[in-house]
Amino acid sequence: NVPEVGLPQSPRTTRRNMLKDELSESLRQNLLWERQSRNRMLGIGGNRVA
């Protein structure tokens, strides 16, 4: 009964999964909105297409 070991994840993927599991959807959306607003005010990031 040993759990299967998945592929190693990048730090970004690990963080994204942690946030998905530990934060509510509304809190995640609020954090995203705050980060995008701050970056727009500071002129950081440009127009990136996801």
pLDDT tens, position by position, 9-25: 999 999 999 989 999 99
**Domain span at 25:** 11-42
Our count of domains for the chain comes to: 1
Residue 48: is its pLDDT beyond 70? no
pLDDT at 8: 86
Q: Quote the pTM value.
A: 0.54
Cβ density class 9-32: b for 16+ within 10 Å, e for less: eeeeeeeeeeeeeeeeeeeeeeee
Q: Is residue 6 one of the residues assigned to a domain?
A: no
Q: Is residue 33 one of the residues assigned to a domain?
A: yes
Residue 50: is its pLDDT beyond 60? no
| 14 vs 7 pLDDT, higher one | 14
Mean pLDDT of the chain, nearest integer: 84
Q: Is residue 26 one of the residues assigned to a domain?
A: yes
